[in-house]
Amino acid sequence: MAAEQGKTVDLSVAMILDPVPAADWLVIAPVALPLIFGAVLLMLRHRTATQPRVAIAALAALFAVDLGLLIHVWTGGPVVMTMGRWLPPFGISFVADMLGATLVVTAGLVALVCGIFSIGTVNDIGRRYGFYAFMMLMVAGVNGSFLTGDIFNLYVWFEVFLISSFGLIILGSGRRQIDGATKYAILNLVATTLFLIATGYLYGIFGTLNMADIARKAPELRETAPLMTLATLYLVAFGMKAAAFPLNFWLPASYHTPRIVVAALFAGLLTKVGIYALLRTLVMLFPPERSVLSGLIIWLAIGTMLIGIFGALAQNDIRRVLGFVVVSGIGSMLAGIGLGSEVGLAGAIVYAVHSMLVMTALYLLAGQMRRAGGSYSLSDLAGLYRSHPMMAAIALFLVLAAAGLPPGSGLWPKVMLVQASLADGIWWLALAILVTGLLTTLALGRVFVLAFWRVKEAAERTGSEIATTASAQTAVLILCIPVAVMGVWPEPFIAAAQTAVAGLLDPATYAGAVFPVEAVQ
């Protein structure tokens, strides 16, 4: 606008004038695509039959785009796009590094599978109240969180997926749902407000919100500025989002109340965004502060692991068992962050990917068990092995994977975390991880034994069994594939996690991608 009038204004000091390669759009597409389709689905409110087709086509396209982004990042390093042509740090940058790209791909797969599962399980009422639209908007928010390079923008994406998750959790408005949603909503609101408080202080100290810029400026400011306060505030805020002990109580209070596919989506995506944000802030932006906090984080991790799994052992409802197992898994990821070594962090990232896949699969499987057995309660479920042998095989495989036993994917991240804690001489953490593994085997193994192996009398039938649908079975099977691949061939996953950790520990590549001009100088 300005240059056309012939005034002597040098736009290059404020704007990016180079044309943007088409491939860079891959970094914004995982956010823009679900936003656009979420909007379309909101408008298709009454076309309940069309909705799943549009949603699944969009999710499949999204997954393809995510894969493209991952390949692009794997071969060419971090991809950056800065909004509105303004030079960073003034424009908001979207940065896809290995960590973001890996998590975006996993989230894309989880969302696609939940979309397929929902075909036969979400009824017209759920569709009319916007199940698919909210799901798309939530995926947009989660992807935005993984890809943004601006810390205030991260807050905005947190709110985007939080608001969409409110829409999902009250879908149907049952009494239990409203009770669970109230606790979920208020505690998450407080957590994001804490995040915003920390961001306000951060802006006051740094005068910038661009993460690459913060990473560059932190070493100079460390002498004078209270960065320790910032790091602790972020730990509390994201720890609450991730459901870390002692701020975990909202999760088991709410995750068993919504529809099972919504719970599966939440278990797969939401808490992991908290872990991602912890990795981004504590490991990339404030590493010295993280090492001061590491003792605390390790004890929080042990608390989360053990409280989670003891909680799981005391539950009768499968969904509540799984809710506590999700909490326990967060403990393992926190352990990696607390250790802070390369192996430990890589273990945490591999665990995050594993947990996203396996916990979603387990929730979806619980939905299948409810349909086949007529109940979520362990006291009522029985004899599923005889009626559904295929489901029993999948269940056994997923239980082993979640407990960290071969041939599933859970073994490798646990091995890495135990190795890392022994290398640092923190044997009690290694012990806690192993004990948690044993107790997870007990908790989930008991679910398997009671629901599948226990003999069921014909008279005990509850009468509320519903036939399982083919789409739902396909969905669970699709999720089993990456779990199995990760179990028998973990090398590419570990390599990706190691690249991601290298990028986190040395943010020079990340900062160089955002500020290319200065990297050349």
Partner 1 sequence: MRTLIFRTMAPYLTSLMVLFSVFVLLRGHNEPGGGFIGGLIAASAFAIYGIACGVSPVRRALYFHPMGISGFGLLIASLAGAMSIFSGVPFMTGLWAEVSVLGVTVDLSTPLVFDIGVYLVVLGSLTSIALALEEREED
Partner 2 sequence: METAFSALVGIFFAVAVYLLLSKHIIRILLGAAILSNAVNLLIFTAGRLTREVPPIIPAHLYMPDEATANPLPQALVLTAIVISFSLFAFLLVLTYRAYQELGTDDTEEMRVAEPADDAMPPMGY
Residues that bind partner 1 (CB under 8 A): 1, 16, 19-20, 22, 24-25, 28, 32, 35-36, 38-43, 45, 81-85, 91, 94, 130, 133
Helix, strand, coil percentages (3-state) for the chain, rounded to 5, are: 75, 5, 20
Structure tokens at 116: 């397929």
Alpha-carbon distance of 38 to 134, in angstroms, equals 7
196 binds, among partner 2, partner 1, none (CB under 5 to 8 A by kind): partner 2
Alpha-carbon distance of 49 to 386, in angstroms, equals 35
Within its chain, how far is the Cα of 314 from the centroid? 26
Stretch that binds partner 2, among 21-29, 180-188, 409-417, 464-472 (CB under 8 A): 180-188
Residue choice 12, 20, 49, 193 for contact with partner 2 (CB under 8 A)? 193
Residue choice 190, 228, 236, 502 for contact with partner 2 (CB under 8 A)? 190
85 binds, among partner 1, partner 2, none (CB under 5 to 8 A by kind): partner 1
Alpha-carbon distance of 191 to 271, in angstroms, equals 12
179 binds, among partner 1, partner 2, none (CB under 5 to 8 A by kind): partner 2
Q: Which is nearer to partner 1, 59 or 345 (CB)?
A: 59
Residue choice 71, 125, 296, 314 for contact with partner 2 (CB under 8 A)? 314
Q: Which helix (H) or strand (E) holds 82?
A: strand 79-82
Residue choice 70, 81, 113, 253 for contact with partner 2 (CB under 8 A)? 253
Q: Are 212 and 507 in contact (CB under 8 A)?
A: yes
Q: Least distance (Å) from partner 1 to the CB of residue 29?
A: 9
Alpha-carbon distance of 84 to 36, in angstroms, equals 18
Q: Which is nearer to partner 2, 64 or 156 (CB)?
A: 156
Alpha-carbon distance of 442 to 313, in angstroms, equals 8
Alpha-carbon distance of 427 to 420, in angstroms, equals 10
Q: Least distance (Å) from partner 2 to the CB of residue 196?
A: 5
Q: Least distance (Å) from partner 1 to the CB of residue 203?
A: 21
Closest by CA to 102, choosing from 498, 514, 509, 511, is: 498
Strand 79-82 to 93-96 pairing: antiparallel
81 binds, among partner 1, partner 2, none (CB under 5 to 8 A by kind): partner 1
Q: How many helices (H) and strands (E) does the chain have?
A: 22, 2
Q: How many binding residues for partner 2 (CB under 8 A)?
A: 48
Q: Which helix (H) or strand (E) holds 96?
A: strand 93-96
Binding residues for partner 2 (CB under 8 A): 2, 7, 9, 152, 156, 159, 162-163, 166, 170, 173, 175-183, 185-186, 189-190, 193, 196-197, 199-201, 203-204, 252-254, 256-257, 314-317, 377-379, 446, 449-450, 454
